[in-house]
Chains A and B, each alone.
Chain A
Amino acid sequence: DAGVTQSPTHLIKTRGQQVTLRCSPKSGHDTVSWYQQALGQGPQFIFQYYEEEERQRGNFPDRFSGHQFPNYSSELNVNALLLGDSALYLCASSSLYLGTEHEQFFGPGTRLTVL
């Protein structure tokens, strides 16, 4: 049973560019949440997708957007990259259908470096 997978593993971009990160949830999960973890800090909630819609959003600017596909996979897009966007981006999945919506499984993350 594959867990949460994310791609790419590492990414280097320059300021002002745009980036897309991808996530496939754990088998049987229908909900995907994204987190940003800056170096030396705890993860910060960006947003959550359920039924292909953004259900909740944290305190992040509109430069951060996302999408969920019919197969429950998800993308995180960040426009106009800033140096401060350098972080580990974590994807987590859970299942409302299975009643385990509060138990989130995390992927290995994508390390984004903005130069």
Chain B
Amino acid sequence: AQSVTQLGSHVSVSEGALVLLRCNYSSSVPPYLFWYVQYPNQGLQLLLKYTSAATLVKGINGFEAEFKKSETSFHLTKPSAHMSDAAEYFCAVSEADSWGKLQFGAGTQVVVTP
């Protein structure tokens, strides 16, 4: 069974600093990988997805993530944090034959300080 681990439940960054959120997965074959963002009292918004094309994936709001098969990782980065980036971020995976069934990590809460 696949699983997703997000390292760090809370991350605090200064405005303008690099944002780095870590995600590792366990799967027998490279899965489909996603990053979602959730603002307070809202649903989930897709930031970006990896579907076996380019290993460096660019998403919305300046975020990008790199798929590293050898490390079974899919870390999310943004070069310069903005106050509006304060939210909870979830890494998720699904397998090719289980489309529509996402396995989520526990989430990382991002706080941006002025």
Interface residues of A (CB under 8 A from B): 4, 31, 33, 35, 40-45, 48, 50, 55-56, 58, 90, 92, 94, 96, 101-109
Are B49 and A102 closer than 8 Å at their CB atoms? Answer: yes
Q: Which residues of B contact A106 (CB under 8 A)?
A: 36, 43-45
Given A31-B100, A109-B42, list of 7 further CB < 8 A pairs?
A33-B102, A35-B102, A50-B100, A56-B100, A58-B101, A101-B99, A105-B46
The answer for the CA separation of A50 and B98 in the assembled complex, in Å, is 12
Q: How large is the interface on B (under 10, 10 to 19, 20 to 34, 35 or more residues)?
A: 20 to 34
Are A42 and B106 closer than 8 Å at their CB atoms? Answer: yes
Known: A102-B32, A102-B94, A103-B49. A48 touches B44 (CB 8 A): no
Query: In this complex, what residue of A is CB-closest to B98?
Result: A56
Contact partner of B100 among A90, A104, A109, CB < 8 A?
Answer: A104
Q: Which residues of B contact A109 (CB under 8 A)?
A: 42-43
